[in-house]
Structure 1
Amino acid sequence: MGLHWESFVYAIVAFGVLYLLLNKYAFGPLLGIMEERKRLISEQITTTEQNRLQSEQLLAEQKQALQAVRQESQEIIERAHKISAKQGEEIVGIAKDEAARFKNEAVKDIENEKNKAIIALRGQVSAMSVMIASKIIEKQIDEKSQEQLIEHYLQEVGGNQ
Structure 2
Amino acid sequence: MVDLILRRDGPRREDEAARRLIDSNRDRIGRLADQLTGGGWSAQQAARAAAPAAAPAPMPAAARRPTGEAQPYLRFSSNGRVVIACANSARQLHFLGELRWRDGKRRFVLATAENGFIAPLEEEFAARIADLDGLLLGTETDREALEVTLRERLDLA
* Pairwise TM-score range, normalised by the shorter structure: under 0.3
Q: Which has more radius of gyration?
A: 1
Tell me the TM-score normalized by structure 2. Answer: 0.18
More helix per residue: 1 or 2? Answer: 1
Q: Which has the higher contact order (CA 8 A, sep 6+)?
A: 1
Tell me the TM-score normalized by structure 1. Answer: 0.18
